[in-house]
């Protein structure tokens, strides 16, 4: 709920604190932001736009795929890692999408509220309902986040943009970033069979370089599992991510027809802890 994270929010125009007045967030400078009827609030700056956000079809594909439990091993690994970090403040999920991973972490942790941050209002319509302690906020990950300094014990980042200086700013001293990124083996059978975008072998190094000097890697765990995907599931995993922008539906259907049904696919990600 938005009221659970109200005292952690900052005005995107003046960075002053926000107070919830009915269904409207207001700052002392007079800026105001109305909560949408679907439960989220937009804290985008006036010149920002949502053109890079996930579309309604992408969000629908993600919702179906995640609800089927295919990425549950990733959610469990995140929740396990979150349980090792002292917490009594906010859990912020940067690029939260539908709120699936944030909800699993909040289920494991007793008490903290969660801020689902994403630029897609379609995703946040779902995130606002994903857990009773989630507040959903539209924002741009590459701009100053609408959160107060040092408010978060944990920042989650799963297959999402990473803004090092802003993550550092909103983390309290001793707070942790839990970052999930695919390895080169992730979905390799679909990458090869369907001609999808691949993950280069230097991804981990590039992430570390971009986060340095604000955050340093403290620990890493590889999570690898086998998925048995129907052609419908395989189409959903293509349609819910970056490949959706690059894959023509007719070409995808033709390529899928050449694969077994169901098809066994490797899930492979690296969970990194930064502080």
Measured distance between the N- and C-terminal CA atoms of the chain, rounded to whole angstroms: 28
242, HSE (Cβ side, Cα atoms, 13 Å): 10
**Distances in whole angstroms, Cα of residue 216 to Cα of each of 149, 213, 248:** 19, 7, 39
What is the reported pTM?
Answer: 0.94
Name the token pair of 145.
Answer: 């986040």
Tens digit of each residue's pLDDT (9 = 90 or more) over 66-80: 999 999 999 999 999
Report how far residue 181's alpha carbon sits from residue 47's, in angstroms, rounded to the nearest whole number. 30
Helix H or strand E segment including 136: strand 134-138
Tens digit of each residue's pLDDT (9 = 90 or more) over 5-29: 999 999 999 999 999 999 999 999 9
2-52+71-184+196-223+268-274: which CATH topology? Rossmann fold (3.40.50)
Report how far residue 128's alpha carbon sits from residue 30's, in angstroms, rounded to the nearest whole number. 25
Report how far residue 22's alpha carbon sits from residue 33's, in angstroms, rounded to the nearest whole number. 11
**What does the domain layout of the chain look like in residue ranges?**
2-52+71-184+196-223+268-274
Measured from the Cβ of residue 225, the count of other Cβ atoms closer than 10 Å reads 15
pLDDT exceeds cutoff 80 at 225: yes
């Amino acid at each position: 709920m938005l009221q659970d994270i109200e005292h952690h929010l900052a005005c995107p125009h003046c960075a002053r604190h926000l107070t919830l007045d009915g269904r409207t967030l207001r700052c002392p400078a007079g800026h105001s932001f109305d909560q949408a009827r679907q439960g989220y609030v937009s804290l985008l700056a006036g010149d920002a736009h949502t053109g890079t956000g996930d579309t309604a079809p992408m969000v629908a594909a993600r919702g179906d795929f995640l609800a089927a439990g295919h990425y549950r091993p990733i959610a469990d690994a995140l929740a396990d890692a979150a349980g090792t970090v002292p917490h009594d403040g906010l859990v912020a999920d940067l690029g939260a999408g539908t709120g699936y991973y944030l909800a699993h972490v909040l289920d494991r942790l007793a008490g903290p509220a969660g801020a689902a941050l994403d630029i897609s209002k379609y995703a946040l319509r779902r995130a606002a309902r994903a857990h009773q302690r989630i507040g959903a906020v539209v924002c741009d990950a590459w701009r100053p986040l609408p959160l107060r300094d040092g408010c978060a014990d944990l920042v989650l980042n799963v297959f999402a943009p990473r803004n090092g200086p802003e993550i550092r700013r909103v983390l309290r001293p001793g707070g942790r970033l839990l970052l999930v990124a695919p390895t080169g083996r992730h979905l390799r059978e679909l990458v090869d069979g369907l001609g999808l975008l691949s993950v280069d072998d230097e991804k981990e190094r590039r992430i570390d370089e971009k986060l340095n000097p604000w955050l340093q890697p403290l620990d890493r765990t590889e999570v690898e599992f086998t998925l048995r995907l129907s052609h419908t599931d395989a189409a959903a995993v293509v349609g819910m991510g970056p490949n959706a922008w690059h894959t023509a539906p007719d070409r995808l259907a033709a390529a899928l027809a050449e694969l077994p049904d169901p098809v066994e696919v490797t899930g492979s990600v690296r969970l990194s802890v930064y502080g």
